[in-house]
A = this chain, B = another copy of it.
Amino acid sequence: MLLRMSTLFLRTLREDPADAEVPSHKLLVRAGYIRRVAPGIYSWLPLGKIVLENVARVVREEMDRMGAQEVLFPALLPRDFYEPTGRWTEYGDTLFRLKDRKGSDYLLGPTHEEMFTDMVKGEYSSYKDYPVTLYQIQTKYRDEARPRAGILRGREFVMKDSYSFDLDDDGLKHSYEQHRDAYIRIFDRLGIDYRICFAMSGAMGGSASEEFLAPCPTGEDTFVACHNCGYAANAEAVTTSAPPAVTVEHPALEILDTPNTPTIESLVDHVNEHFGLGITAADTLKNIVVKVRTPGSDKVETLVVGVPGDREVDFKRLEAAVAPGIPEIFEGEDFARHPGLVRGYIGPQVLASLGITYLVDPRVVTGSAWVTGANEPGKHAAHVVAGRDFQPDGTIEAAEIRAGDLCPRCAHPLSIDRGIEIGHIFQLGRKYADAAGLDALGPDGKPIRVTMGSYGVGVSRAVAVVAEQRHDALGLVWPREIAPADVHIVGTGKENQIEVATQLAEELESRGLRVLVDDRPGVSPGVKFKDSELLGLPTVLIIGRGLAQGVVELRDRATGTKEEIPLAEAMDRVLAACRA
């Protein structure tokens, strides 16, 4: 491949686009890789198209290598497929819906679970057919409320999505591990710095879902990371290390008058001042009541969650912890129906007798003593000891995670970082197989419900993520694997520099390199150098003023090193740099 800037459809911009806030957006527009068409909708110019195609090629190679088979679904899909799973409605405003000329309902596919399930159901019937993994690299549509950051969160975007179909949980786990390995290879090859984050705590097993997040100050997602051992997780998936059980003898439970203590802070001040307890908020036990609805039924259970008073309940963590149940707020009328629960003064002492489930933060270990509600208005209780004065029904990961909390793996302090989701692997289980009735006929003639995994890579987003992680003040810094070309040969000067640059470019192309040559006549060296830095190809060869002395300059975009070398060595040196 040889691209000549004299004819290349490329115009770089000196100014950042007015609507751009993050570096990748600014640089990809300025360097002429993408252009905005509408909010979250972009066109790809020639250099951008090459980078996008390179990312897709890497993804395709690694999917093929793991034995996944490529198919292609339409983007325009009839409503029928999305009714049995309820997603026609559930997707809300994020779904682009339209009607055809006959008035039939269609949607633009935001994701293709239903389609893949239906396809496998259409072709396969016997247990002998399985396992199978299918993938596509395809354009998807989501009507994001806030499309932002160029192609980082677009409304039309390219995704690789794949699905594994297995007969049993072990098969699913194997397919999941294969994908995990493939994703590691993909993101390594793309030159992305990433963390594999637990995305779900235990319910389905430790690694039923992981997200590949690229740490990035402009990222929309937050994640919890340990910079000591490499542990990373979504806040929802972080597990809390329980301290050892307490064996100290505590005083007997004592009821305290605590008027006008609506907040934890006022309670702590009050008991320290009036009763000399010397406690902090972390010594109080806050009890939150919620309702947990079973999806698809009217069943609602009351649940009390106990967390140390210095922490809030993180509703997303709570949601993840009670899934598939759906937590809902316990309101005034709910309290009215449960007179045993004294709002503002709930203590766990009475919950067993009320028949209400009580789950506690893992820090509430056996033998630990707390100041908590006394189940009477205006009163709290001190020396309320777990295992003595109340017996929790179990633990729950619902308390907020804070920077400085201890890593569940190595006990070093955790940090909370920002990142961009670039991949997601998920042991989906039988949800879609159930909805579609996807069974394999077993060896005994009985049907086996198929279990699925779901796996995604943001292909167009990956272009932005690389740009976001790999740039400097001057421009983009592409890794070779996805760079629009291996080498940028810049001819500049009034003698025969452009001619020599073009000759070298042609020779290097014939040796198998992908070459971009700046052969523009009448463009100043300054402009050419600036463009070269902005475009960000990994290796740059300058054919400039030194040519008369037989000297050219070899630059490495990433390290910034510049070296004058004899023209006669240029071919070999560029080849060596590009094949390193």
Contact = CB atoms under 8 A, between A and B. Distances in A.
Q: Give the dominant DSSP class at A's interface.
A: mixed
Interface string A197-239: 0000000000000000000000000000000000000000000
Contacts of A143: 100-101
23 contacts: A7-B67, A9-B69, A35-B122, A37-B77, A43-B74, A43-B115, A43-B119, A44-B72, A45-B71, A46-B71, A48-B72, A49-B70, A52-B72, A75-B139, A76-B96, A76-B155, A76-B156, A93-B101, A96-B98, A98-B108, A100-B155, A101-B143, A139-B139
Interface string A1-29: 00000011111000000000000000000
Contacts of A81: 37
Nearest to A80: B38
Interface string A104-146: 0010100000010001001110000000101000010101010
A216 to B, nearest CB: 25
**How many copies of this kind of chain does the complex include?**
2
Given A37-B81, A38-B74, A43-B74, 20 more contacts: A7-B132, A9-B69, A11-B123, A32-B123, A35-B122, A37-B78, A37-B115, A38-B76, A43-B115, A43-B119, A44-B72, A46-B69, A49-B71, A74-B156, A76-B96, A76-B108, A94-B101, A96-B98, A96-B100, A100-B155
Interface of A: 7-11, 32, 35, 37-38, 41-46, 48-49, 52, 67, 69-78, 81, 93-94, 96-98, 100-101, 106, 108, 115, 119, 122-124, 132, 134, 139, 141, 143, 145, 155-156
A77 B42 CA distance: 10
A4 to B, nearest CB: 10
Contacts of A101: 93-94, 143, 145
Contacts of A67: 7
A43 B114 CA distance: 13
Contacts of A97: 98
